Structure 1
Amino acid sequence: MGIKSFLASRKKTKKDTPNTPIKVSDYMTTNLITFKSNQRIEQVIDAIIKHRISGAPVINEKNELIGVISEGDCIKQISESRYYNMPMDNATVEKHMVKDVETIDGNMNIFDAANKFLNSKRRRFPIVENGKLVGQISQKDILKAALKLKGQNWK
């Protein structure tokens, strides 16, 4: 006599398939606003306000990432120029950008990227491939990914 199972048949759950996009590169922004190191801070401020962004990558003529400039960097420049009574006319991106930029791998799992955001307290990470800036992932992109993946088994 064989062993009988008393378990009822289970509903099949929607599993992650190889086509389920869960990589950073599936959700990163590729149409980026970028700045050059010789641009004036006033131009950055205008772009930040116009495009409703909190900062952007700084690239050279070869599309290589050389820094990041944020609204905080601009505010610091405004404060210093007032404090030292110096006009902002000569203030350039190069003098005020962050040069030591942490990047993220486009092949990273979106949930690992979420943890990286939590641990780093950053708002965005540039994605670089072969030395060239190819995109950027933001906290908002992570939230969008989570909504799209909602209801699936997260592994």
Structure 2
Amino acid sequence: MLRSVKVSDYMNSEPVTFHPETALFEAIEYFQRFRVSGAPVVDHSGQLVGLLSEADCLRAILEDTYYEVEHGGKVGDVMTTDVQSVRLDTDIIEVAKIFIHQGRRRLPVVADGLLVGLISRNDILRAIYDFSDTRKA
């Protein structure tokens, strides 16, 4: 049953996003405010150019502390640029396998190179719950 469920059915179509020139501490503020642990980075045309995670932020701040330089910088300086993404028509089971076997927490969803959403572990769990027999009992 879940094989017929697509990413487009459960993704967040309006995720928090950043631009490469966004200040790092502004991104951290958004993580706190919106209670997210990572977000896609897009250029001004909406093309996916990276992913920023809490780990990226921590790594940058710890490195700045180690070298005794002022904390700061831009999202584009610390984001992960080698980003795996999925399409709207990818089935939920395939995404779950990626999460399990590659340790990912979220994946950007793209169409023609443009970001159209974000799918997370929690979204997959929501799909599983929606289709579970336990819920119907």
Q: Deviation string for 1:88-119 (max 9, x for gaps)?
A: 24x11111000010001221111121112111
2:11 aligned partner: 28
Select the residue among 106, 114, 122 that pairs with 1:140. Answer: 122
Aligned pair count reads 133
1:55 aligned partner: 38
Separation of aligned partners in 2, 1:35 and 1:46: 12
- Mapping 1:68-79, distance limit 5 Å: 68-79=51-62
CA contact under 8 A between 2:4 and 2:91: conserved in structure 1? no
Runs of 4+ in 1 over 3 A off after TM superposition: none
How many angstroms does 1:151 deviate by?
2.6
Select the residue among 114, 124, 130 that pairs with 2:106. Answer: 124
- The 10-residue stretch of structure 1 (102-111 or 134-143) with the greater mean CA deviation from structure 2: 102-111
Q: Report the RMSD for the aligned CA atoms in angstroms.
A: 1.6
Separation of aligned partners in 2, 1:23 and 1:130: 17
SS in 1 for 2:51: strand
TM-score normalised by L of structure 1: 0.82
Structure 2 runs not aligned, ≥5 long: none
Give the structure with higher Rg (CA). 1
Select the residue among 39, 49, 64 that pairs with 2:22. Answer: 39
Percent pairwise identity? 35
Higher relative contact order (CA 8 A, sep 6+): 2
1:98 aligned partner: 80
SS in 2 for 1:133: strand
